[in-house]
Chains A and B, each alone.
Chain A
Amino acid sequence: DAKTTQPPSMDCAEGRAANLPCNHSTISGNEYVYWYRQIHSQGPQYIIHGLKNNETNEMASLIITEDRKSSTLILPHATLRDTAVYYCIVRFPGGYQKVTFGIGTKLQVIP
């Protein structure tokens, strides 16, 4: 699986958009970008994933650059409950593939 680089921490004001960047310059053509988050020692929670097109669901939007070397997770209106560690993971689909977690970005939403 390709390596990812994320800032260790970020702050965001409540109600504003949180934009979490991720670099994955060694991503290969068949690897997907996944985002998970972990709220204070709870189980990791799936947020969104994509291959090359931008994706949106009820939780977030995922913007992947045209060259696929980086992506941004957008939480459109951050709330205090969005305070968590956010993990950007690049991996091949299918098979028994485990999820390999890095240290992620600690997002602190400030009132």
Chain B
Amino acid sequence: EPEVTQTPSHQVTQMGQEVILRCVPISNHLYFYWYRQILGQKVEFLVSFYNNEISEKSEIFDDQFSVERPDGSNFTLKIRSTKLEDSAMYFCASRETPGREGRTDTQYFGPGTRLTVL
């Protein structure tokens, strides 16, 4: 069964450094999402992306964050200048295109990237 993949599985960085988290969504999906989960807390929505633009973003997704679909397969999350509080699991998700009854709205999540900011 097709899966969302994410790399790296664990990223350690120094405060103030830029990081890029990578995701390969399921191949026929056109809606993409990033979520994060700080240790012991809920999974939180960051941003959704469709048709090469952001469709919705949360308050967490400030100017330090950006997303990009640089080619036909990758979807990236960039954090420009990492802070200690950015340490979390980051999950990518993707969703099918509309038009198929029942499964049109299901988001499928990747395994996550654990980001540790020192």
Q: Is A93 a contact partner of B108 (Cβ separation < 8 A)?
A: no
State the CA gap A40–B105 with chains docked (Å): 25
Q: How many A-B residue pairs have CB under 8 A?
A: 55
State the CA gap A45–B107 with chains docked (Å): 9
Count, chain A residues at interface, CB 8 A: 21
Query: Of B4, B48, B110, B114, which one neighbours A96 at CB under 8 angstroms?
Result: B48
State the CA gap A94–B106 with chains docked (Å): 9
Count, chain B residues at interface, CB 8 A: 28
Q: Which residues of A contact B110 (CB under 8 A)?
A: 43
How far apart are A25's CB and chain B's nearest CB, in angstroms?
A: 21
Q: Which residues of A contact B93 (CB under 8 A)?
A: 43, 99
State the CA gap A32–B103 with chains docked (Å): 11
How far apart are B31's CB and chain A's nearest CB, in angstroms?
A: 6
Is A106's beta carbon under 8 Å from chain B? Answer: no
Q: Which residues of B contact A21 (CB under 8 A)?
A: none
Query: Of A41, A91, A98, A100, which one neighbours B112 at CB under 8 angstroms?
Result: A41
Q: Which residues of B contact A94 (CB under 8 A)?
A: 98, 104-105
The SS class assigned to the A binding surface is loop
Is B65's beta carbon under 8 Å from chain A? Answer: no
Q: Mark A15-51, 1 if CB is under 8 A from B, else 0.
A: 0000000000000000010100010011111100100
Task: Give residues of chain B (62-101) contacting chain A, Cβ–Cβ below 8 Å.
Answer: 89, 91, 93, 98
Q: Which residues of A contact B56 (CB under 8 A)?
A: 96, 98
Known: A42-B111, A44-B91. A98 touches B104 (CB 8 A): no
Question: Which 6 pairs across A and B sit closest by C-beta, in order of nearness?
Answer: A43-B109, A96-B55, A93-B105, A98-B45, A101-B43, A96-B48
Give chain B's interface residues, CB within 8 Å of chain A. 4, 31, 33, 35, 37, 42-45, 48, 50, 55-56, 58, 89, 91, 93, 98, 104-112, 114
